[in-house]
A and B are shown apart, each in its own frame.
Chain A
Amino acid sequence: MSEPIEILLVEDNSEDAELTLRALRKNNLTNSIRHVTDGEQALEYLLQTSHRPKVVLLDLKLPKIHGLEVLQRLREKPATKSLPIVVLTSSQEDRDLARAYELGANSYVVKPVEFDAFVEAVSNLGIYWMLLNQAPES
């Protein structure tokens, strides 16, 4: 039986996804990751699964359903109301940041451009949400 999904990565840019997975793999955190590439797939997965991931890494500029709308819809459902969601985006726009927190994001991280900084950011996220953070039971 495969391991339960602990991290859901919602990322449409395949290169960003590859780099993110690589950074997580360096910390042995890849066995339990699922990667989806648009907002619709993210909602489908999260609203149907019985095992809640420990964290969702959510990009904002997504095809089909925008990341902020994904966030809003997840917060409307009791099952995903308190699911840990980290926005991981290129957007440094103040209004995206403000809106993400208003809608109930647990964290907002701007993807660094330079690879060392990117690996460090993703590694820190992985370690924090997988090992340190305590989430409420679903």
Chain B
Amino acid sequence: MNRSEHSACEEDLEALTYAISHDLRAPLRAISGFSRILVEDHADALDEEGRRVVEVIQRNVGKLNRRIVALLDLSRVGRQPLDLTDVDMLDAARRAWADITGPDTDATLSIAELPTVPGDRDLLVRLWRELLDNAVKFSDGQARVEVCGDTDDGHARFVVRDHGIGYDPQHADALFAPLQVLHDRSSDGTGIGIGLAVARRIVRRHGGQISAESLPEGVAVRFSLPLSVDVP
């Protein structure tokens, strides 16, 4: 498959993702609303078990809805037009770090000079946010995240390294796939596994590549972006 065929194929996939997730919303709204009406208007006909059953329905509506929202978000990242400019990646990464950690964090970021690349500033800040958030989330105790970058052979190359719980290399393929949760580290057990899929989508849209390596302690995520504007 050449590049334009590949890109056409990705566009089809985006359209499909959008259509499916969009069309799932109306029936799901009906399930949520009408099961609630059952509780509100027919409470007398429901015993404790009946009310529990409705709660299970409601909870699962919530779960499915969060996945739909995530897929729509991923699809939007894949389709929104790129607004290309020179992006200072140090500034982008620092901005993303401030977004995800807040002022009271005990997580630390070591970061040196990073190259400037041509790209969409908002999407590249989002890329850093997903990668840094992932690094912090999968750290036990105080998170230590290291970021470095360099240029070589027409590409800027970056590494985000954490010292967290890592992942089983057997599951490496699933790491960047949407809705794959290898460990659920969200506070309420509702992690849905979209962050690294979003990251990969952004890197690919910029004509780059991304991969992860499981280390004895933690994970290194590497990505490269072309230094000349040749966006598919």
Per the 8 Å Cβ criterion, residues 30-46 of B in contact with A are 30, 32-34, 36-37
Q: How many residues of B contact A (CB 8 A)?
A: 20
Query: How would residues 14 to 43 of chain A score, 1 for a CB under 8 Å from any chain B CB and 0 otherwise?
Result: 011011001000000000000000000000
Per the 8 Å Cβ criterion, residues 91-116 of A in contact with B are 91-94, 111-116
**Bound CA span A114–B65, Å:** 8
Give the contacting residue for B22; candidates A16, A22, A91; CB below 8 A: A91
Question: Do residues B25 and A15 form an inter-chain contact, with CB atoms below 8 A?
Answer: no
- On chain A, the residues within 8 Å of B28 by CB distance are 113
Give the contacting residue for A118; candidates B22, B29, B80; CB below 8 A: B29
How far is the CB of A8 from the nearest CB of chain B, in Å?
21
Question: Do residues B80 and A15 form an inter-chain contact, with CB atoms below 8 A?
Answer: no
Query: How would residues 111 to 135 of chain A score, 1 for a CB under 8 Å from any chain B CB and 0 otherwise?
Result: 1111110100000000000000000
**Bound CA span A22–B34, Å:** 11
The reply to whether the CB of A138 lies closer than 8 angstroms to some CB of chain B is no
Question: Do residues B29 and A113 form an inter-chain contact, with CB atoms below 8 A?
Answer: yes
Give the contacting residue for B32; candidates A91, A94, A113; CB below 8 A: A113
Query: How would residues 48 to 62 of chain B score, 1 for a CB under 8 Å from any chain A CB and 0 otherwise?
Result: 000000000010011
**Bound CA span A112–B25, Å:** 9
Query: How would residues 114 to 151 of chain B score, 1 for a CB under 8 Å from any chain A CB and 0 otherwise?
Result: 00000000000000000000000000000000000000
**Bound CA span A37–B62, Å:** 28
Q: A15-B34, A16-B29 are in contact. Are A113 and B65 (CB under 8 A)?
A: yes
Of all chain A residues, the one with the shortest Cβ separation from B40 is A22
Interface centre among B30, B65, B80, by most chain A C-beta atoms within 10 angstroms, is: B30
Question: Do residues B72 and A19 form an inter-chain contact, with CB atoms below 8 A?
Answer: no
Of all chain A residues, the one with the shortest Cβ separation from B65 is A113
Of all chain A residues, the one with the shortest Cβ separation from B29 is A113
Of all chain A residues, the one with the shortest Cβ separation from B21 is A92
- On chain B, the residues within 8 Å of A18 by CB distance are 33
How far is the CB of B92 from the nearest CB of chain A, in Å?
22
The reply to whether the CB of B26 lies closer than 8 angstroms to some CB of chain A is yes
- Give me the interface of B with A, judged by CB distance under 8 Å: 18, 22, 25-26, 28-30, 32-34, 36-37, 58, 61-62, 65, 68, 72, 76, 80
- Give me the interface of A with B, judged by CB distance under 8 Å: 13, 15-16, 18-19, 22, 90-94, 111-116, 118
